[in-house]
Structure 1
């Protein structure tokens, strides 16, 4: 600027200016919300004239980083601040370039939105659902990012936020997104179906590439399913399928069948496809062909009969031993079977021996002896065990036929010898039947021994049963053998009444194998409804601990028949525990438990619920139960247990007066407990997620129902499966079990510090401002709790600042807390509250720091002015860019203050018009403007924006802040403007110019031209002015420099002779142009051309000499050749030409007049007279 002022002071008004190009010519685009982004404006000079200038922005959100630049090019860096702006906002304004090229504005228009190249963020749930459908991958990335909670449809949605956060705590991001979409009703849950539920193959039909199961999904979206098979021969390489395995909502599962692991015949596999919502079952059958051998009626290699024949004869023998049928009938069937099969199997020794035994029993002794003798004679070889057993049987049958002691002894010795040699059941039985020294008791013990050795052999049971029937006193109840023996006798109907009576009279102590006994007694009770049998049944069940509902029938029968059995009542109550409320209890049971309360808690609860439902409070039964019910309720309550059945017990005795601090802690949990029922089949755990608290609460779920406290109305209730995936169940049912406002009020008094109560009290803090001081104190306490989430603390902080703002006088104690806040974590609205609070309470430094960091949008102009003035005073008018911005903004809002104006006058630099407005405001307010006036004038001169130069210069003179060079520069510019616009100078300027021109030499030429133009408009001049005018005019004319205004001086002074006969044509235009006149003389029609002289930058003149009888139509043209253009057209008339009396031009005019009148004699005389004057001739020559 200094250089430019020196140029102007030297008279160089019209200097060559740089011609600028801007890239881009218009600043526009999209900027991302909530960011600070850098941009660049490039300036280049076209005409090689160096550029010098400064840069400003008209919008405070666009901050210029490059304050000034010089040279042939410059990169103007600026940053755009979109913090606190949202998508859809706009930033408009201009970058103002103030420099030697003048002042220029490059406008900008930026729209705020998502980053360029990214898909626009969804603003509604519907848009998000469409986004999820269109691009699931990007939707998932958005869902798990921090930006998701900042979307419009998530802001201030507490329950939605809790649901979102809770779902993300699960093990699968995909499942969390799907569950969120389903919960928000953006889509239906995915249901799977299979094309075929049963697939059948033969071994040959099994596909080589595997068995394919086609699964179809009902809709789009994420899902995952587990694949299970119940057989080892069916193998699924893929144990889990997800939506990624599907195309067009259809997928294929491949299973491979391992034939080597199959059995012969039909092989059936059940495949389960399990999702959290459903279970699909597919049956796969593979038939493996196998032709087995039919051995039922086949002849065996050793000649023995078929197994069917042997089994039939064996059953007939048992029937005989058991005495279960008529003997003659049994013998008849034996005869028939032996007669048929002995012919078929003549080599079967077993059939011959069986025949001998049968003849002996039929008392056909002779026939039996003959047959046995024949058989014995043919028995030549006795080497194998089977042959030895056959030989032993011949000895036994010999004794049966003869009944001789010798034969009996021989058979017994042979049996004993065979037992020593080999393990033979036949030998053991023969020995038992032939040993004479064994009692019945000893024989039964031997049968028990054989049972332990050979297992459950019917022949052993049959022999033992025969002994018991013959001697009932020998039967025993203890031991597995005896129970099995009893079972055998019941099964084959060989239990006599005497034997059963003896069995039931045995003592109960020491019963073993209760399970077996129970089943035997059940069978026995069906045949005889005996009380003792029922006692044994109940005793066995109690001993086994069988108290499930399936056994309640027996306990109820026992109670009805008044069985005296320890534990019977308890077993009965346990067995009907879950059915107590659905049936009528016997009075004996009710009376029994009115004095005894050792049942388990679950049974007691159902019993007490039965009493409450069936007996009024005034009844004797209720009175009998009331003490133990109250005791039970207190214990359960102190243990923190809650369910729908406990609530009536609690309500029955609980009153506000009983609540103390200890009970209050427990009761708080119970009051807000909800019974939650879900339809999700695979839910293993219910999770309650609060937006306000961490950690979340969870309880394992059993049978689709659970009780858990839920303190906030906006808590998210979620369900988790065994794999950690989480779901929301829109169809779940919730019931608040025992909430009573009077109890809750007492709890709030007794345990005000209980966190969950505090959360409950703050339930509406998300949506409503604080109603009173109590809300404020509650929020303060919650802020100190570590369990409270950061997001909820943010809400509490917002509400507290808001309350402090509207209750400024009542919240002075929170000043320190307010000042300690981080405004960056607050919303824009709350931040404005905080800044205004700081201003009101005198924290101008903190308020100023917040404004510097986050801007002043939304702040009251009055408070902003108060803070700005205070801050200026505190910093002793130290320069601050933020303060400058605030002062300008306040001034634009007509918030005028002397301190503000003084500060701006000291430091503000900006566009010329803005600086001039500031100067005017400071002048009108009589504020100390410092050197602002001089700076404004200087900038006007530097940029060429001189619309208000006069006014600004006048103020600067009054402020005494001008210098000699600045005065000279202003004077030059004013003279230049007067010349170019042909305007009038003030008398003061005229006097100044006259004094300068008289006293000084080498002044700018503009002064001389301007004063001459000024004189031409005046009717008279003083002597001093006239002398100066003549001096200047004659000098210019001597140089051949003419101006149109010179003709205006003819009435004031005598013009030089050079002015005679001249018409002066003048055009004010652009400096350094080629300008000429082109016209045609009238009436001669001669073409004439005159070149115009640039006597001053931008002022072109030409003196056209015309005779009195000539006129010329002249056009002023600018340019060269084809590019010339007409800028002015005039008609030149010689009647206006200046002519002195007696001058040569006057003589010529006379000659022309004489010629016109054809007075040639006088014309000649006058010519001769003129020629005689040499000087005149010389002048005439020049002119002609």
Structure 2
């Protein structure tokens, strides 16, 4: 700007005509956080000559990399720094351009975009777009899932969903976790598989054949089905099915059947398909026909079924569960069915004969027996023996009976494996009937030979019921016999007791023996059987809720069995709160080697019922106290331990270590997932970084949970995870953290982070007196998740402000860094810092923020205090903050003084600042000087700003700027025809008198002013005008104003007869004047052209001598464009003063009188001629010798 002042004083300056054009109406930038965004725009000038200027930005983040420009066009580069800004934030401001073509503003807006990952489908900015990517390209989606872009995407969705992502995203590359994540966030349905047929039957398998299982798929996603065949005769092609195996939504799976691995008849197998969400089974039934079977096979099955029914009916009859009449009716139906299936066989006739005999219809039975035609006895000896047996029922003679017995015995010896003949011998041989021992030995031999006939088992059970002593051991045969009797409920009480005694002596547990005893107990609950059951279970080490009823019964019956009470307690269901029998309580009052979980259940039961037996409770109390202290020191927790801790412990009496240990257990939750016996539990906390891993035992685990937003996962051996929230049972082991016990611990313990987290709201952390201490504890946690930590810190600050607790507020503020607070809340933090007097920290924070979003009162307080301390005066950011405060009408003397000294903006803004500063009595000289310089530089109108000139002059301003300012005023008056202020003229006269530099344009302006205002001239002004006029004439500058001072300025009298054509333009233009004279009576000559002389910077003038009645018609053009007229008009002779002396005056007077038609014109003409004659004769030029 000072260069412009010097240029003005050198008279090489004129106002730049034209304006600046910008390549954009608004600069708009968009980028990611923590980036430096760069761009450019172009400035072009429509003005000729030299165009120049400089730029500044209203925001320190926006840097002008091209702060100066010059020439007709310039590319302006800039850079914006987004460090510290948050996604979605927008910052606006302006570029302020000061040029010799004026002042301009170019607005800019910067938007911080959300970080979005790139994929083949474009940007991934939300979960729906990610789900679409997964549906289109699963592998790419899996890869994207484990990137930082996905992590940021989920973090924006809130703490709960982010915790969900952190859990599923823990094991990089696991595809199952990506699938489960999409299902958990409701972006897809679980993929489902369904077989077209769940049962497949294959008849008559021959050789090696294959069958096809068709599977339908419903939904989209990764396909991974495991295939497992069960059955020796079954095999599958491969153990896994993938996406490529499906054609559309159908997959065909071949299953192979091998005849060589099948037995005759029906073979059962299954193929199980397992996926991420469950499994399904396809059952396969394959039939292998025995050699020689064909069409008769179906008849054979029906015949065998009828035979089985007939045997079952006989069993029911012998067990006395069916009366004879009902038996005969149903047996006759079976016999008729058999007769229909094998009409030529003698067997149904023999069955019918026996039925008739039971009805005492001996004659009809004998008639049937006499007509039965039997095959050879060797071909079917059992049927023949049956026939012989029936004949003994018809013929009761003893001799005949002995004969038949002998015959049957012979046939049995020939066929020892035929159980039917053996069964008949039981009724025919008298020695077996008379001797139970021989009969049992006979049956035992049959069983040892592999006989499994239920009829023989029935006979054996009934024999033992009559003679229990026959049972002297419990071997394999005895087990089968007893099992048959127990299963059918026909074991007698004596036999059951005898068997229980034998079983109780066994060394090892046997599930078959247990089942026998169990069935016997269910038939008739005897103490002997119960004793044997408990003894057997203890020998097998059986504990658990399934065995609890037996031990409980044993305890109630006060059975004397070693370790009965331990097994009883170790079998209780720890989930229920049952009353413990007194016998067990007395037993454990003096000895206990239980594990801690069952011991806790025992002691909790004693504690719950202590009022019912005070003496017993007092016996237990020392044990309970020692147990509770020991378990607490080991950090153990369970449902019953939690109850004991609350009931037994007194927090105020605990040492520090125990108190902290107890505090760490208060947020324990029991997670139960019975179908997840193996694996481990991973807990991801919504408000804490990282995760915790817990071992899974028996389908349950005790974990720490602090809020409903914490996510619990089950993890398998491969790293696949399944969300348990909403599926597994989750039971808090302690009461609500707001209860008295928990509150007392919170106030006493030091390490209470977990309990404090449970007290605070995870979604909207509001601080109140009840959770204030917990909130302070949480906010100090180093592993706090960033998002929640930011919310909690701002909530604490607001709480302390509301409670008027400046000390706590200052302590918390002192620990804060910008990254500890959400970008959107940092403006509020600056307010707190300023109110607490932490001005330097507040200033450093505010430098990175948008001042327009800050409370102007805060800016006022902040800037005023720092400036008053003399801090940051030289920093441009301080000036920006001060101006932001002033814009909102909040300022004081410190702020105005800073702006007065350093602010550089538009003239309008600086003038407003000047007015405000003057109201506070602040010296505005520096600002006044900057305004004047900028007015000159930008070519703005200065004629109405004489107050600036007055102040500048009054305060001893530099003459250089004053002269340049006056020159600009003169330019407005002379070149632009603006009104001229009187003070400007007086100041020019003062400078001229003092010998200070003054431009010719100022002199011209003074002469023009006094030419119009002759009454304003005094003697000093006349002297100054005389000097100025003479100076202009010396330079050859002849203008109409000089003619007005012809009597005052030497040499100006020669201009009295001149009429001037004056043109104001550019100094570099070639200007041509075209004119012609127009006489009063009309007509006129042709136009005459000539180049107009250039008198001064842009001032062109030509003079003509015109007499009254004459007119000069003219127009002006530029040499480079003669077709364009810049100006035109008609001039007439200037009216001369009648008193004016000189021949031109006399001629003008003659012409005027003559035109008026008066006689005075002739008289004046005679006088003119006389004077002209005298001059020619009396005055001669002197000749040199």
Q: Given the two structures, how large is their TM-score scaled by the length of structure 2?
A: 0.69
- 1:56 corresponds to: 56
Structure 1 pair 1076–675 and aligned structure 2 pair: CA distance change class (3 A): same
Q: Give how far 1:1013 is off.
A: 1.0
Assess, with a 3 A threshold, how the Cα gap between structure 1 residues 52 and 46 changes in structure 2: closer, same or farther: same
Name 1:553's counterpart in structure 2.
Answer: 518
Are 1:601 and 2:602 counterparts? no
Q: Distance in 2 between matches of 1:1038 and 1:363?
A: 181
Aligned to 2:971: 976
3-state SS, counterpart of residue 841 of structure 2 = helix
Look up the match of 2:761. Answer: 764
Name the residue aligned to 2:833: 838
CA deviations over 1:666-715 (Å, ceiling 9, x no partner): 98799766676779899966654321345335464867x87766442332
> Runs of 5+ in structure 2 lacking a partner?
297-369, 381-399, 584-604, 1181-1185
Are residue 951 (structure 1) and residue 947 (structure 2) matched? yes
Q: C-alpha distance in 2, partners of 1:116/1:577?
A: 55
Gap change, CA 1:186 and 1:813, over 3 Å in 2: closer
1:276–1:681 Cα contact (<8 Å) kept: no
- List aligned pairs for 1:169-208, cutoff 5 A: 169=170, 175-176=176-177, 178-197=179-198
Question: Match of 2:721?
Answer: 725
Larger relative contact order (Cα-Cα within 8 Å, sequence gap ≥ 6): 1
CA distance in 2, matches of 1:767, 1:571: 60
- Secondary structure, in 3 states, of the residue corresponding to 1:845? helix
Match of 2:1010 among 1007, 1015, 1024: 1015
Partner of 1:822: 817
Contact 1:183/1:730 (8 A) holds in 2 = no
Which structure 2 residues correspond to residues 434-473 of structure 1 after superposition, within 5 A? Answer: none
Answer yes or no: is the 8 Å Cα contact 2:54–2:69 preserved in 1. Answer: yes
Change (3 A) 1:607 1:116: closer
CA displacement 1:918-959 (0-9 Å, x = unmatched)? 444444433355745444433433333454763334333344
Distance 1:1044 1:808, change over 3 A: farther
Shift of 1:71: 7.2
1:1010 CA displacement = 1.9
1:884–1:650 CA distance, 2 compared to 1 (3 A) = closer
Q: State the match for 1:11 in structure 2.
A: 11
Return the offset for 1:56.
Answer: 0.7
Cα distance between partner residues in 2 of 1:226 and 1:856: 63
Alignment of 1:81-480 (within 5 A): 81-82=81-82, 90-114=90-114, 146=148, 154=156, 157-169=158-170, 175-176=176-177, 178-197=179-198, 213-218=214-219, 220=220, 224-230=224-230, 234-237=235-238, 239-241=240-242, 250-253=248-251, 255-256=253-254, 263=261, 270-282=270-282
Output one character per residue of 1:796-822: Cα deviation in whole Å (capped at 9) or x when no partner. 44444444444564535963x633432
2:890 — aligned with what?
Answer: 895
Work out the CA distance in 2 between the residues paired with 1:212 and 1:511: 48
Change (3 A) 1:709 1:846: closer
Instruction: Choose 583-592 or 861-870, whichever is displaced more.
Output: 583-592
* Aligned 8 A contact 1:919 1:932 in 2: yes
Q: Which residue of 2 aligns with 1:435?
A: none
Distance 2:564 2:755 in 1: 39
Aligned to 1:505: 469
Is 1:696 paired with 2:692? yes
Task: Identify if the C-alpha distance between structure 1 residues 818 and 136 changes in structure 2 by more than 3 Å, giving closer, same or farther.
Answer: farther
**Would you say 1:811 and 2:780 are equivalent positions?**
no
Residue 260 (structure 1) shift:
7.6
Matched-pair contact (CA < 8 Å) for 1:581–1:610: no
User: Contact conserved, 2:19 with 2:102, CA < 8 A, in 1?
Assistant: no
Deviation sequence 1:1115-1139 (CA, Å, 0-9, x none)? 5556754651454655646657999
Structure 2 residue 1029 is matched with structure 1 residue 1064: no
- Gaps spanning 5+ residues in structure 1: where? 298-331, 343-360, 369-396, 401-428, 431-446, 448-453, 1180-1184
Offset from partner CA, 1:1129-1170 (integer Å, 9 cap, x none): 556466579993451453366368658969999999789768
Secondary structure of 1:821's match?
coil
Q: Distance in 2 between the 1:611 and 1:117 partners?
A: 61
Distance verdict in 2 for CA 1:130–1:613, change over 3 Å: farther
CA contact (8 A) 2:1030 2:1050 kept: no
Measure the CA separation in 2 of the matches of 1:665 and 1:1039. Answer: 102
Q: How many residues align?
A: 1037
Asked if the contact 2:168–2:177 (Cα under 8 Å) also holds between the matched residues in 1, the reply is: yes
Assess, with a 3 A threshold, how the Cα gap between structure 1 residues 857 and 513 changes in structure 2: closer, same or farther. farther
Q: Give the drift of 1:3.
A: 3.2
SS at match of 1:6: helix
Task: Give me the whole-angstrom Cα distance separating, in 2, the residues matched to 1:1003 and 1:767.
Answer: 74
Match of 1:529 among 478, 489, 492: 492
Match of 2:571, SS? Answer: helix
Find the counterpart in structure 2 of residue 940 from structure 1.
Answer: 935
Question: Separation in 1 of the partners of 2:174 and 2:468?
Answer: 68
Distance in 2 of aligned mates of 1:873 and 1:784: 35
Report the secondary structure of 2:56's partner residue. Answer: strand
Is the 1:801–1:833 contact (alpha carbons within 8 Å) kept by the matching residues of 2? no
Normalised to the residue count of structure 1, the TM-score between the two structures is 0.69
- Within 2, Cα distance between the matches of 1:590 and 1:293? 62
CA shift at 1:1110, angstroms? 3.0
Following superposition, the deviation at residue 880 of structure 1 comes to 1.6
1:612 and 1:1175 map into 2 onto residues whose CA distance is 161
How far off is 1:158 after superposition? 3.9
The CA distance in 1 between the partners of 2:1112 and 2:934, in whole Å, is 47
Q: State how far apart, in whole Å, the 2-side matches of 1:641 and 1:749 are.
A: 22
Alignment match, 1:371: none
* Whole-angstrom distance in 2 between the partners of 1:2 and 1:1035: 27
Once the two structures are superposed, what CA deviation does each residue of 1:879-909 show, in whole Å capped at 9, x if it has no partner? Answer: 2222222222233333333333444444444
The 1:923–1:725 alpha-carbon spacing in structure 2 relative to 1, beyond 3 Å, is: same
Residue 1085 (structure 1) aligns with: 1083
What corresponds to 1:885 in structure 2?
A: 880
In structure 2, C-alpha distance between the alignment counterparts of 1:973 and 1:520, rounded to whole Å: 127
Residues in 2 aligned to 1:665 and 1:590: alpha-carbon distance in whole angstroms: 46
Compute the displacement of 1:102 (Å). 4.3
Matches within 5 A, 1:1033-1112: 1033=1029, 1041-1046=1037-1042, 1049=1045, 1056=1052, 1058-1060=1054-1056, 1062-1073=1058-1069, 1074=1071, 1076=1073, 1081=1078, 1083-1086=1081-1084, 1087-1088=1086-1087, 1092-1111=1092-1111
1:580 touches 1:606 (CA, 8 Å); kept in 2?
Answer: no
Take 1:570 and 1:1109, find their aligned partners in 2: how far apart are those partners?
A: 155
The CA distance in 2 between the partners of 1:208 and 1:619, in whole Å, is 69
Query: 1 CA distance for matches of 2:610 and 2:870?
Result: 89
Q: Does the CA-based 8 Å contact 1:692-1:788 persist in structure 2?
A: yes
Hey, what's the Cα distance between the residues in 2 that align with 1:135 and 1:498?
A: 74
What do residues 987-1028 of structure 1 show as CA deviations (whole Å, max 9, x unaligned)? 665455446657869963223312211221222644454455
SS at 2:98's partner residue? strand
CA distance in 2, matches of 1:652, 1:877: 60
For 1:353, the equivalent position in structure 2 comes to none
The alignment partner of 1:599 has SS state of helix
2:108 is paired with a residue whose SS is strand
When residues 691 and 994 of structure 1 are mapped into structure 2, their CA distance, relative to the original with a 3 A threshold, is closer
Write the distance in 2 (CA, Å) between the matches of 1:501 and 1:268: 38
Q: Is the 8 A contact 2:115 2:152 kept in 1?
A: no
Q: How far apart are the structure 2 equivalents of 1:1036 and 1:498? A: 157
